[in-house]
Structure 1
């Protein structure tokens, strides 16, 4: 199976088929930004790559081969439990936020809502790499929701990074001491699919 770079058109088709199997005409109506020849070409490619399959006149999501997009959505609740377990352990050891350091924490509901907006409700492809700048706890939380992505957590507090270190996957979560008043480390320039930062500084 070849690796296909997902586009908004791919996600429009997938989300239409999540509701129910659809004919070509129905998909053309729900994916109204595509011309018939574009949709036909896209469906052919998606059949080849086992994202959809055709049963007579209807197309359905193909579940015969796991893929990263489906795993992300299927594992959301399980990964959310892991994220909270990790975060609880971190928050049990970390210093309390202080306004003079421009530190504050998301509420549990706020944190989960932001994560859903960034990841679960985002029509763009699941990011392969994410940088979190000045938001170390949120970065640690999201790292559990993206178990196949590289995560870079940049923060000026060595104590915070050291505390987080014990409860994240060190093979793919990189903790970097960084002050936002300085230039970004050269190796990170242009390296991320998504960047989350929490000003002011």
Structure 2
């Protein structure tokens, strides 16, 4: 059974079951501004409800499995308290704005399975608390912290991998398969443990592998 929970910062209003609601926009416009978690997966939303912009205390926004189209609204980049944002499997397009660097509290960011394009903004480097970033199944291009999971599979990344990937000492999972990345595989990747997965297949790397890359899946 579908269940959407809304956890409120005010004591006594920890969770509201809205599984029987029929007008999501009316519902979100009447919710209090002190809302801290918003879960609306699979609600067939075609846009992010405008009322969400007034919920300045939001820490978790989960809008997976909808049909939200257009670009990511600018006000979402100003939600400085956000710790987790999932817009997985929607119809979002356009580019990620440099103002995404304002989300300095974000820990988990999932924008996968959309139609987002362009280059990843350098301001992503401002997200010092980010541990999981999933941008797979989009149309990003260009050249490719304390991050544990980096998923950039099925995009249009090209050019060589940066030696700076070796600086992600806590990286447990690296997924870069199905891009157009070329050139040598950085020796610095060999110092990473990749406790979960490291896949770089379906690219155009040189076939000469450094001895330190035994854990990579080609």
TM-score grouping bracket, smaller chain normalisation:
under 0.3
**TM-score, reference length from structure 2:** 0.23
Could you say which structure has the higher helix fraction? Answer: 1
Could you say which structure has the higher strand fraction? Answer: 2
**TM-score, reference length from structure 1:** 0.25
Using CA pairs under 8 Å that are at least 6 residues apart, name the structure with larger relative contact order, 1 or 2: 1
Which of structures 1 and 2 has the bigger CA Rg?
Answer: 1
